[in-house]
Every structure is written in structure tokens, then in C-alpha cells.
Copies of this chain bind each other. A is one copy, B any other.
Amino acid sequence: MLEEYKRLSPSEFFYRNKEIAGFSNPSRSLYTSIRELFENSMDACELNGILPEIIIFLRRVRKSEKGEIYKLYIQDNGSGIPKKHILNALGTVLYSSKYVIRQSRGTFGLGGTLALLYGQITTGKPVKVISSTGNSQIHQYTFKIDIRTNNPVVYSYKAIRNNKKWRGTIIEFYLEGNYTIASRYIVNYLKLTAAITPYADILFVDPNGTLYYFPRTVKRMPRPPKVIKPHPHGIDLEFLKYLISMFPKTMTIKEFLTKAFHRVGETTALRFLQYAKIKPTLRLGAISEDILDRLYNALRTYDKFISPSADVLSPIGEDILMEGIKKEFKPEYVDVVSRNPSSYRGHPFIIEAGIAYGGELPGQAGDILLFRYANKIPLLFDEGSDVSYKVLERLRQGSYRIQSDKPIAVFIHIASTKIPFKSVGKEAIADVPEIEKEIELALKILFRRFLKYRRKIIKKKEVEKRLKIYERYIHLISKFSGKLADREPADVEKLLEKVKRRYGVKEKIESTSL
């Protein structure tokens, strides 16, 4: 029997297997499309230190028996895409600005293009994109993606004079979807994003005309992440060879190490080469297979390299995280913690966590909601296979059996140059031991402080209850005692105030039925 062999372009591969990137059915695909383009927009702002202003319009253009067609418009005030990259960045699968070592929402450099491709395969209509980097021209293209060749095909182009120096990107296209089902995910996603990015201004008008506005409440934003060189602990043999090939053959190995790697200075390079038993003056052109092997093994095993720098990361920051949670959920109690930077396999990361209690949190008494974030993206699906869920469950079933009369929410954010996602759909994080440990430490701090607060609250409630009884009768008692002793009644007000102050009870106790 003759097997039919075939080569697929990256477009065609992801087109055929779009489920693995989150395009599994009309509702999920609508959610994923908005999410991917929104994340590109946020990156275009945050990576360049621009306070984000994002506008999303979703309009239903046709109701059909088997699916509905929507028009999605998304506008940002980000950096814009340079003219020569617009078509490829949006119309070619595996062409992206995300293929550097840097913390960003985008990871695979895939999602935005796949969203547009999804629109094309469900509606057959071209995409319109308008972008400017703020120079003298605004570029407007309509195009489709040729799936077999993985190339954009231009339908029209127009250059517009940019008198007002507008900067940003607008994308408009048609796609199949099901907003009835997707709406709660989309709104939830935006709300949870707003909860950690109070410096962003996000407006969403849904197909029913409902306006969701998440206004900016702070003007400072986290420092943008930086692009870094690879850390020696994160590389493989293939990559080492590639790095060597990028530098002149006459360069010494010592210089190569300092030029090619993150946090390797002259001293570190010399000490390392001594450990590896390689002469510092060896030229790159003279590296034999044997020396390469030794170099590679030494790079991986040498344990005195300085850990990757966390300065290159862009954590949310304790104050912004607290502000965001307060803004979106108005909880009675909120607490946040930012752990010290750590690293796994040469990738720096930071865990930030928060806890909130009561207020406008959704859910029931006794619930502990888990809100997961990775590089500022809220993760809404596959909670059960996420490392955060695993840690939270372990703590809840272990030493932290938290009872509560109101819902509690736990927020966990990981910022890293490489998030260990379990799939292209970016929904769950793998249980890397170093990450697991940091999440556990962060949660323990928050739980301890929360339990202390809870004990205080319970104590306070008891005091309030007792005080209410005292307050009602102490005047009478004081009056009667005075009469009995034939003296003026004692001034009990001061006493009461002192006790109230001590237990932090509000001045005026509202009388409730006792």
C-alpha cells in the first residue's frame, strides 16, 4: 500500500489543529480571539511603557441556525507595527516580535494570527488592519492569509497622512461565534485583567449594546520588561552551537562567554573556564567536538553562575495589585505579597499573590476562589491541572482549613521570561518545583496574616456584642449605684470609649436585636 506523504505549512498545521490553541468551538473561539488580540494590544502598550487604552466593539452581524457571525473591532494606543512588518506580523503564522527572551503576554507568537485565520475560515472575509508607529503615515491594509503558503495576500492598501501623530493599531474582522455562551468568560477575563492592571483603561461594548468600562485608577505602571541574553543554565547543545556560530571565529572563548550570556562577566567567565578546564584564550574557530562537549556539560553543571536577574521582569507590584483588587472587588480585607525573585532552568520568575475577603467578591460563604495569572494574563480554563490549584488544595486540606462566612479569593501571578504553559492554549502552568515552592510560601504568608485578621474580627465581634449589653445597662447601674452610695453617678462614657478604642470598635454601635 502506498502512503501519501505531505508537507504542511505552519498555517495549515495550526488551521487543522486549531483546538490545541483554544479554537475548539464557536463560543470558545470567540473568547480566544478577543483574548489573543487584546493581549497583543496590551503588550504593544506595556512593553513600551505606554498607559494602555483599549477599545473593543463586538457586533452581531448575522444570526444563523448553526452559528452566528460577529464583527470584532479592537483598537489600542500601543507602539504600532512598522509598515514592513504589518502584513507578516498578522498574516503569517510563526512570524512575530515575541521570539526574544522577555516577559510578555504573547508567548508563542501565534494567537493573533490564528484569531484572524479563524475569522477567515469561518466567514471567508478579509481582515482590515490600521496601524501607525506615530510617524507621518497611517497604514491601512485589507488582506487574507493563504493557508497553503503561509503568506498574507493583500486586497487593498492605503496610506493616510498622520497629522495628529496618532499611534496604535486597529484590527477589524468577521468571525463565527456564540456570544451567549462566551459572554461571561469574556467579561470575566476583562474584569480579572482590570483587577491587576488598574493603570489600563479598557472599554468593551458587547453585541447587546451593554458597555463594560474598566477605568484607569492609577497612573503609574510597572516598569517595562527587558529583553535579555540567555542564561547558561537554560541552554542546550544545539543552542550553544548556534550561539558560537553567531560570533567571529577569532573571538576568544572568554570574550564569547561574556558577550553571549546573561550575567556572565569577566570574573565569572574566568572562574568558569577554570572549572571547565578550558583555556580562556581559545578561539571559537578552534573548538573541537570534544571541547564543545566539555563546555556544554560544564555550563550546565557549574553552580556558581549568578542567578538570572529579575530586574528584567515586570511584576505588577504590591501597591498596584492591591489597588486593582480593591477597585474591582471592593473587599473588606485585602492583602498582597510579592516574593523575592527566583529562577528555574535559567529563567527568572517572580510570584506575586493576593487574598481578598467579602465585599463584591462573587461566590458563596466558604468558597475560596482561585484567580490565576501568568504574565498578567488571567487564566480561566483547566484550573484543575494548574500548579496553583495543586498548592492551594494541599494547603486547604493541610494546615490551613480556613472557615469563612464570606467568599475568599486568592490571586496568584507569575511573571517570567518563560512561563511553563502546559499547552499552546495558555491555560494551565506545569508544576515546576521551584515555582510550586514560591507559590506555597506566598500563600502561607497570606493565610497566616488572614487568619490573624479573622481571629481579630471574631474577637472584635464578641467585644461589640458584650459592649452593646454593657452600654445599654451601665448607665442604669451607675445611676442606681450612685443612689445607693448617695453619690453622683460615675462618668461611664469615658470608660466605654477607652474599651472601644482598645478593640478598634466603631464609635457608634448600631443597635441590632440582641
Binding site for B on A (CB under 8 A): 1-10, 13, 15-17, 19-20, 24, 47-48, 64-67, 79, 82, 85, 88-89, 92, 94-97, 99-100, 108-109, 120-124, 147-148, 227, 236-239, 241-242, 289, 292-293, 296-297, 300-301, 382, 384-385, 420-425, 430
Q: When the two chains form their complex, are residues A238 and B297 in contact, meaning their CB atoms are under 8 A apart? A: no
Residues A5 and B385 in contact in the complex (CB < 8 Å), given A66-B300, A424-B20: no
Do B108 and A17 have beta carbons less than 8 Å apart?
yes
Q: How far is the CB of A45 from chain B (nearest CB, A)?
A: 12
Q: Tell me whether A423 and B20 are in contact (CB under 8 A).
A: yes
Q: Are B121 and A6 in contact (CB under 8 A)?
A: no
Residue contacts A-B, CB under 8 angstroms, 15 given: A3-B47, A4-B97, A4-B227, A5-B95, A6-B97, A7-B95, A8-B95, A8-B109, A13-B94, A17-B424, A64-B297, A65-B297, A66-B301, A147-B242, A423-B425
Contact status B301-A121, CB under 8 Å: no
Q: A97, B3: Cβ atoms under 8 Å?
A: yes
Set B2, B121, B385, B420: member contacting A385, Cβ < 8 A: B385
Contacts of A108 in B (CB 8 A): 13, 17
Contact in complex: A5, B121 (CB < 8 Å): no
Residue of B nearest to A80 (CB): B3
Determine how close the nearest CB of chain B comes to the CB of A284; give it in whole angstroms: 16
Shortest CB distance A345–B (Å): 9
- Chain B residues in 8 Å Cβ range of A122: 236-237
Least CB distance from A375 to B in Å reads: 15
CA gap between A423 and B20 in the complex, in Å: 5
Please give the distance in Å from A69's CB to the nearest CB on chain B: 10
**A4 lies within 8 A of B100 (CB):** yes
The 3 closest A-B pairs by CB, nearest first: A121-B238, A3-B97, A423-B423
Q: Is the CB of B382 within 8 A of A5?
A: no
Given A20-B422, A124-B241, A8 and B94 contact (CB-CB distance below 8 Å): yes
A461 to B380, CA, bound (A): 52
Rounded to whole angstroms, the CA-CA distance of A191 and B404 in the bound complex is: 48
CA distance A237 to B66 in the complex (A): 13
Complex contacts, A1 vs chain B, CB 8 Å: 47-48, 79
Measured between beta carbons, the chain B residues less than 8 angstroms from A9 are: 94
Who on chain B is nearest to A382 by CB? B385
Say yes or no: B10 contacts A99, CB within 8 Å.
no
Q: With A297-B66, A300-B66 given, is the CB distance from A120 to B238 under 8 Å?
A: yes
Q: Which residue of B is nearest A423, CB measured?
A: B423
B385 touches A94 (CB 8 A): no
Nearest-Cβ distance from residue A182 to partner chain B, whole angstroms: 17
Give A120 Cβ to nearest chain B Cβ, in Å: 6
Q: Are A121 and B239 in contact (CB under 8 A)?
A: yes
Cα distance A234–B238 in the bound complex, in angstroms: 41
Flag if B124 contacts A292 (CB, 8 Å): yes
Nearest opposing residue in chain B for A13, CB measure = B94
Q: Which residues of B contact A13 (CB under 8 A)?
A: 10, 94, 108
Q: Given that A66-B297, A300-B66 are contacting pairs, would A99 and B8 also be in contact in the complex, using a CB cutoff of 8 Å?
A: yes
- Asked if B238 and A430 sit within 8 Å, CB to CB, the answer is no
Known A10-B10, A241-B124; contact A5-B236, beta-carbon cutoff 8 A:
no
Contact of A3 among B79, B289, B382, B423 (CB under 8 A): B79
A48→B94 CA distance, assembly (Å): 35
Residues of B within 8 A of A238 (CB): 15, 120-121, 124, 147
Q: Which residues of chain B come closer than 8 Å to A422, judged between CB atoms?
A: 19-20, 423
Chain B residues whose CB sits within 8 angstroms of the CB of A227 once the complex forms = 4
Partner of A424, one of B6, B66, B148, B424: B424
Q: A385-B385, A424-B20 are in contact. Are A5 and B88 (CB under 8 A)?
A: yes
Min CB gap A178→B, angstroms: 14
13 further A-B contacts with Cβ under 8 Å, apart from A64-B297, A124-B238, are A1-B47, A2-B82, A4-B100, A5-B85, A6-B96, A7-B95, A10-B13, A13-B108, A16-B99, A66-B301, A124-B237, A148-B242, A385-B385
Are A430 and B94 also in contact (CB < 8 A) when A122-B237, A147-B238, A236-B122 are? Answer: no
- Expressed in whole angstroms, the Cα–Cα distance for A236 and B147 within the complex equals 13
CA distance A206 to B99 in the complex (A): 39
Please measure, in the bound complex, the distance between the C-alpha atom of A460 and the C-alpha atom of B297, giving whole angstroms: 65
For the complex formed, measure the closest distance between the CB of A314 and the CB atoms of chain B, giving whole angstroms.
14
Say whether B121 contacts A237, CB under 8 Å.
yes
Which residues of B lie under 8 Å from residue A10 when comparing CB positions? 10, 13, 94
Known: A8-B99, A13-B10, A97-B4. A20 touches B292 (CB 8 A): no
Residues of B within 8 A of A123 (CB): 237
